Amino acid sequence: MQFFKVKTVEETFALIDENIAAAAGTEVRELKESLHYILAVPVTAKENVPGFDRSTVDGYAVRAKDTYGSSESMPGFLTVAGEVEMGEAPDTKVTHGKAVYIPTGGMLPEGCNAVIMIEHCEDVDGLLNTYKQVAPGENVIRAGEDIKAGEVLLEAGTKLRPQELGALASLGITHVTVFSKLKVGYLSSGDEIVPYETETLSLGQIRDINGLTILGLASEWNVDVIYGGIVKDDFAIFQQKARELYEQVDCLIVSGGSSVGAKDYTTDVIQSLGGPGVFVHGISVKPGKPTILAVANGKPVIGLPGHPASAMIIFKLFGERIIRLLKGEVIQKKPERIYARMTKNIPSSPGRSDYIRVRLEEKAGEWWAEPIIGKSGLITTLVKSDGIVEISSEKEGVSQGEYVPVIPSR
């Protein structure tokens, strides 16, 4: 039996980063089917985007110096020599004293270096009156200004948001190598837990709701989920079912039962799945202290507290990071918190991170976080909440009116 010291939230995140690596599988996917996948190999641009100099406005392609000195009161005059057709290379050159009509996105004719906006000139029977001067390069996007041939457009580990798909499409990339979709499995245990479909409960029973909340959260992170069902508080059965589900998934989540003995053997079941095993056993956090994090032969195993609301908060905090790392994402440090002012004094113990469910209310143009009263076992505290206020471990609570970071729930 190993002994574990309870970890702080900060230590837990550091241990997660140290222990969790990308699952190995990659695949080549069609670009349009790759939203929210993680790029497994970098993408280098094979051509310039755009491939030619373009106008950013509707106007006239000109030589900039031909417009110098033009103003409302003293217009310049140019001869309209033609028109650029969209999607085609222009057949007219711009020479001294000439202008060519060009729509937004049109290809710049040879000889010009700027575009004068249609609002700043007037075509009077082929004579263009220019009311404003333009500088060289004005209203023009140069070839390669968006993406340069040869540059690394996206690094491995990048999450493909809609804009990344767009940038890849602009290069004509139809397939990308990404990390394969993960399978995440969840197994409930507890003598009192029955399937949520159970119509009538016997006294002492409750329905399994973690199967829906935990796997619901996981599927928000673009993974496939497998519900392993409910096992009774029995070491041998729990171990067997955990092993069966573990074999099918990339990440296993269990919650241990509450019966005498069950708490102790949840750790043993997790340890039995493979080495190196448990790396966090107990986190200095409220709610959710009895959390277990492990790696068994490269697969993360997460032991959640049984209370539904605690389980959700813990899984959102630590499970999301574990799954993103396992997906191969290179996590950039980005703000994921909004700020609000606390409506009440909330005490907390230094050395422990507290997570307070709150409702957000706007008063006089500011957001205020109103704590939701209720024990951590109550699922409705999360239903009523707009987010979770984080009181970090070095604080002794927060005061009324204080600005606090809130993890919003979508």
Q: Does residue 149 interact with a second copy by CB under 8 A?
A: no
Backbone torsions φ then ψ of 33, nearest 5 degrees:
-105, 20
- Encoded one letter per residue, x for contact with a second copy by CB under 8 A and - for no contact, window 290-319 reads ----------------xxx---x-------
Helix (H, G, I), strand (E, B) or coil at 329: coil
Among 66, 138, 354, 386, binds a second copy (CB under 8 A): 386
Between 19 and 221, whose beta carbon lies closer to a second copy?
Answer: 221
Q: Does residue 67 interact with a second copy by CB under 8 A?
A: no
Between 71 and 219, whose beta carbon lies closer to a second copy?
Answer: 219
Is the distance from CB of 175 to CB of 29 less than 8 angstroms? yes
Between 19 and 407, whose beta carbon lies closer to a second copy?
Answer: 407
Between 146 and 224, whose beta carbon lies closer to a second copy?
Answer: 146
Cα–Cα distance for residue pair 397/393, rounded to 1 Å: 9
Omega within 30 of 0 (cis) for the link into 195: no
Instruction: Kindly provide the residue ranges of all beta strands, DSSP E only, lying in 49-205, ordered along the sequence.
Output: 54-55, 59-62, 76-83, 98-102, 114-117, 121-124, 127-130, 140-141, 152-154, 175-179, 183-189, 193-194
Is the distance from CB of 277 to CB of 270 less than 8 angstroms? yes
Q: Does residue 51 interact with a second copy by CB under 8 A?
A: yes
Query: How many residues form the binding site for a second copy (CB under 8 A)?
Result: 105
Among 4, 25, 150, 161, binds a second copy (CB under 8 A): 161
Q: How far is CA 339 from CA 107, 118, 191, 287, in A?
A: 47, 45, 41, 21
Q: Does residue 365 interact with a second copy by CB under 8 A?
A: no
- Looking up tokens 């710049």 gives 108
Q: Give least dist CB 410 to a second copy, A.
A: 7
Among 75, 190, 228, 300, binds a second copy (CB under 8 A): 190
Q: What is the 3-state secondary structure (H, E, C) of 201-242?
A: CCCCCEECCHHHHHHHHHHCCCCEEEEEEEECCCHHHHHHHH
Q: Give least dist CB 263 to a second copy, A.
A: 8
Is the distance from CB of 76 to CB of 129 less than 8 angstroms? yes
Q: Does residue 94 interact with a second copy by CB under 8 A?
A: no
Q: Does residue 407 interact with a second copy by CB under 8 A?
A: no
**Chain residues 199-218 in contact with a second copy, contact rule CB under 8 A:** 199, 201-214, 216-217
Between 70 and 213, whose beta carbon lies closer to a second copy?
Answer: 213
Q: Does residue 401 interact with a second copy by CB under 8 A?
A: no
Between 134 and 295, whose beta carbon lies closer to a second copy?
Answer: 134
Q: Does residue 257 interact with a second copy by CB under 8 A?
A: yes
- Encoded one letter per residue, x for contact with a second copy by CB under 8 A and - for no contact, window 111-140 reads ------------------------------
Greatest Cα-to-Cα distance within the chain, rounded to the nearest angstrom: 95
Between 187 and 295, whose beta carbon lies closer to a second copy?
Answer: 187
Strands 338-342 and 403-408: antiparallel
Backbone torsions φ then ψ of 24, nearest 5 degrees:
-70, -35
Q: Give least dist CB 327 to a second copy, A.
A: 14
Q: Does residue 163 interact with a second copy by CB under 8 A?
A: yes
Half-sphere exposure of residue 333, counting CA atoms within 13 Å on the CB side?
2
